[in-house]
Amino acid sequence: MPLDLLPARSDSAAANMAADFLLLQHYPNPTHARWRHYHWHRPAITFGYGQKIADVRTQIGPEAAELELCRRPTGGGIVDHRDDWTYALVIPAKHPLGAAPAGESYAAVHQALADTLNAQHCPAILQPPECVTRADKGPAVCFTRAEPADVIHATTRAKIGGAAQKRSKRGLLFQGSVARSTVGEIDWDQFEAEFADAIGKILQEPAEPVPWPETWDETVDALAEDYSTEAWIERR
């Protein structure tokens, strides 16, 4: 399956979430997988679609008032984007991984991430399910604890990578985050290229750079307006 590698962009939290949703629902080449790495205009935190805003603010604490908060279209917990490396991947439903059980797709993408980190001399493995107790389950602040198949440091056991997923009839949206401080000193440009290549191997075709869709800017801006409203952020 072709994998389109979109250019990196920097935007607000709401615009980044809007672009990821459009990547899933309204991509011009719906039979292609697509992947992008992106940055943040301001210090930001995103949280899962089903989380209550009161619980989010309680977990973040007083800093919440100083950060840009946005509800994601995917599930999962709270993700602090102030020192992370963020990416989104969409795999169309016609690919086996696009329709696979959530645990299978989660582990497959994270294994590609772990392999890429190991190639850069950062020892990384997937968190075994037996290392997560019943008391640990449920949404939490990302990077404070590892869920099954999260990427962890093989030596320190600190969490390196986590993600959230959303499925629609069009496929799977995978929103992932990598903790820069836990990874340490690596060549991030090389990491980006090799990670994209690793995803391409999963899809059995190399990643090919493509331009940002010409018609998307207005659509992203319009959806970002919705994602920045109190109605969206505080809906639960």
How far apart, in Å, do the first and last CA atoms of the chain sit?
Answer: 38
**Which DSSP string corresponds to 105-146?**
HHHHHHHHHHHHHHHTT--EEEPPGGGS-GGG-S--BTTSSP
Please report the domains of the chain, with CATH numbers, ordered by start residue: 3-233 (3.30.930.10)
Tens digit of pLDDT per residue, the chain (236 long)?
999 999 999 999 999 999 999 999 999 999 999 999 999 999 999 999 999 999 999 999 988 888 999 999 999 999 999 999 999 999 999 999 998 999 999 999 999 999 999 999 999 999 998 776 545 554 555 567 889 999 999 999 999 999 999 999 999 999 999 999 999 999 999 999 999 999 999 999 999 999 999 889 899 999 999 999 989 988 76
Give the pLDDT of residue 55.
93
pLDDT for the residue 154: 96
Q: How, if at all, do strands 44-47 and 124-126 pair?
A: unpaired
The pLDDT score that the predictor gives to residue 130 is 72
- Going by their DSSP bridges, the two strands 33-40 and 3-5 should be labelled as parallel
- Provide the pLDDT for residue 236: 65
pLDDT at 65: 84
Q: According to DSSP H, which parts of the chain are helical?
A: 13-25, 53-60, 102-119, 180-183, 188-203, 216-227, 230-233
Residues whose CB falls within 8 Å of the CB of residue 230, separated by 6 or more in sequence, listed in order: none
Q: Answer whether 68's CB lies under 8 Å from 42's CB.
A: yes
**For residue 142, what pLDDT is reported?**
59
- The Cα–Cα gap between 50 and 71 comes to 9
Tell which residue, 67, 65, 15, has the closest CA to residue 36: 15
Indicate the SS3 state at residue 218.
helix
